[in-house]
Amino acid sequence: MNKSGESDKPQPKPTRMEEARRIIEEYANDLREIIRKFLGKMN
């Protein structure tokens, strides 16, 4: 059975721009986390 709110229609494939933006955002978030850990070790 489908969960409430879900339809039988497949999700549309993200555009290349959306996929590129998602990858860049993940990369930026990873860099922020690395910088935060590095700065924590410096103090």
What is the C-alpha to C-alpha distance for residues 21 and 24, in angstroms, rounded to an integer? 5
In the chain, domain spans: 14-43
* pTM listed for this prediction: 0.64
Instruction: Please name the amino acid found at residue 17.
Output: M
Helix H or strand E encompassing 4 = none
Terminal C-alpha separation, the chain? 53
DSSP label of 6: -
Residue 14, Ramachandran bin (φ over 0: left; ψ between -120 and 50: alpha; else beta): beta
At 1-43, the pLDDT tens digits run 556 666 678 888 989 999 999 999 999 999 999 999 999 988 7
pLDDT, residue 27, reads: 98
pLDDT, residue 4, reads: 61
